[in-house]
């Protein structure tokens, strides 16, 4: 392998990328757009759930109870209703997700210490939001009930009950429990996987369709030199995307970085080589830009988005699907980034994931070298 020939191929590819604004846009502009779009739009936090109230009691006690919901960041009081028909219309129009119906005798029963039932009606169309809203509502109601019990015992001159068993949680790694801190490192992996494969999926197919592959075949450039020369420019673009992604995470979304910076770049470089080689392999096999781009999109974005643990936990998937996720390299890269970003883990704990990424990159490079034939077929 001669570095002079490799640098000549790399220079040719760099010039093509710089002259083709579409390739440059795919390589730089689209990742930034995806980061902002997913960073702001994609969240697993359930808060400010729309709430409506039918307060049949209309007393200070009922208003005190309702204020516990409106003061919580998990609920947003959007109005009051009078009757089940109005509640049903609000649910149908998606104006509200949960409705509270406070009975007429609410204040009287609370003052006398008797049990009182408050009805909660939920829109179960989105079961995830409904289950969270129900849990929040039960927590607010339980807090109000405990406060009422303590006040009632004090008025009667009795000591308040002991605190009993009290849970004191301590959150490690993501103390604010912001889903964005969990999602963003995985988003970097998705962006790099998709963009890298899409960029290199057009390289050899473009040469075949443009008629320039015959000229490359006639040169003394070897297959390894050709693959390496075409890989270098897109590797540089991919690492630039990584830097941009980390800057957006740090200064726009304030994503904490607890681990070593060099480890992120090392793991990303290994993953990027594998993703670039995969796109190159697709381009070599298909020899069609349109077909290569479609296959690259299906082979990278869908598995990386759905089966890497980026959004959906792998442990909740059916067992056969869990087994299938072991061949998705984005799974290991997502785990690496989250371990470095959120937990500050080192290579001693992430070595297996990094090794699997390196093995995949080596395998795909070997397959690309094998499939690339320097002859006219």
| Lowest pLDDT segment from 57-71, 162-176, 216-230 | 162-176
119-122 sheet: strands from edge to edge: 75-80, 49-55, 98-102, 119-122
At residue 377, the pLDDT reads 55
Kindly state the average pLDDT of the residues 39-44. 76
pLDDT tens digits along 57-105: 999 999 999 999 988 888 999 999 999 999 999 988 889 999 999 999 9
Distance CA 291, CA 210 (A): 15
Kindly state the average pLDDT of the residues 222-244. 87
- Helices 261-286 and 179-200 pack at an angle, to 10 degrees, of 40
Residue 143 neighbours by CB distance under 10 Å: 12
Kindly state the average pLDDT of the residues 197-218. 74
Distance CA 268, CA 53 (A): 51
| Residue matched to tokens 């927590």 | 139
At residue 351, the pLDDT reads 92
Query: Residue 189 in contact with residue 310, Cβ under 8 Å?
Result: yes
| Lowest pLDDT segment from 169-178, 202-211, 221-230, 296-305 | 202-211
SS3 at position 172: coil
At residue 153, the pLDDT reads 76
| pLDDT of 375 over the 70 cut | no
User: Radius of gyration over alpha carbons of the chain, in Å?
Assistant: 29
pLDDT tens digits along 279-332: 888 888 888 878 888 888 888 878 888 888 888 888 888 989 999 999 988 999
Query: Residue 310 in contact with residue 187, Cβ under 8 Å?
Result: yes
Kindly state the average pLDDT of the residues 4-31. 78
Spatial neighbors of 115 by CB under 8 A, at least 6 apart, are: 109
Domains assigned to the chain: 3-43+178-371 (no CATH), 49-155 (3.40.1710.10)
pLDDT tens digits along 187-205: 888 888 878 877 787 777 7
Chain-centroid distance of CA 189 in Å reads 9
Q: What percent of the chain has pLDDT over 90?
A: 26
Identify the band that residue 25 occupies on the pLDDT scale cut at 50, 70 and 90: confident
pTM for this entry: 0.80
Spatial neighbors of 342 by CB under 8 A, at least 6 apart, are: 173, 174, 181, 182, 185, 256, 258
């Amino acid at each position: 392998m001669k570095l002079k020939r490799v640098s000549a191929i790399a220079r040719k590819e760099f010039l093509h990328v710089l002259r083709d604004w579409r390739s440059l846009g795919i390589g730089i502009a689209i990742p930034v757009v995806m980061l902002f779009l997913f960073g702001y739009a994609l969240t697993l936090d359930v808060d400010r759930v729309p709430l409506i109230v039918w307060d049949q009691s209309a007393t200070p006690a009922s208003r005190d109870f309702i204020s516990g919901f409106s003061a919580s960041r998990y609920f947003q009081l959007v109005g009051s209703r009078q009757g089940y028909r109005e509640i049903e219309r609000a649910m149908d129009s998606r104006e509200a997700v949960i409705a509270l119906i406070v009975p007429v005798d609410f204040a009287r029963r609370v003052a006398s210490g008797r049990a009182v039932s408050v009805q909660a009606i939920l829109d179960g169309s989105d079961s995830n939001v409904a289950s969270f809203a129900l849990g929040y509502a039960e927590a607010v109601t339980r807090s109000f009930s405990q406060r009422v019990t303590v006040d009632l015992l004090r008025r009667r001159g009795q000591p308040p009950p002991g605190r009993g068993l009290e849970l004191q949680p301590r959150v490690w790694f993501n103390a604010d429990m912001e889903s964005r801190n969990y999602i963003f490192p995985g988003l970097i992996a998705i962006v790099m996987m998709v963009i890298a494969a899409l960029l290199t999926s057009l390289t050899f197919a473009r040469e075949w369709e443009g008629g320039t592959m015959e000229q490359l075949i006639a040169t003394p450039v070897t297959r390894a030199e050709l693959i390496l020369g075409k890989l270098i420019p897109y590797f540089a673009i991919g690492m630039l995307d990584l830097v941009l992604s980390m800057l957006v995470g740090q200064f726009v979304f304030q994503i904490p970085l607890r681990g070593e910076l060099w480890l992120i770049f090392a793991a990303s470089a290994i993953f990027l080589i594998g993703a670039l080689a995969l796109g190159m392999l697709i381009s070599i096999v298909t020899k069609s830009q349109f077909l290569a781009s479609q296959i690259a999109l299906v082979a990278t974005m869908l598995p990386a988005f759905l089966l890497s643990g980026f959004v959906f936990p792998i442990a909740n998937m059916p067992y056969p699907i869990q087994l299938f996720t072991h061949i998705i390299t984005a799974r290991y890269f997502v785990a690496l980034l989250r371990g470095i970003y959120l937990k500050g883990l080192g290579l001693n704990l992430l070595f297996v994931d990094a090794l699997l990424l390196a093995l995949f990159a080596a395998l795909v490079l070997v397959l690309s070298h094998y499939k690339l034939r320097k002859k006219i077929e």
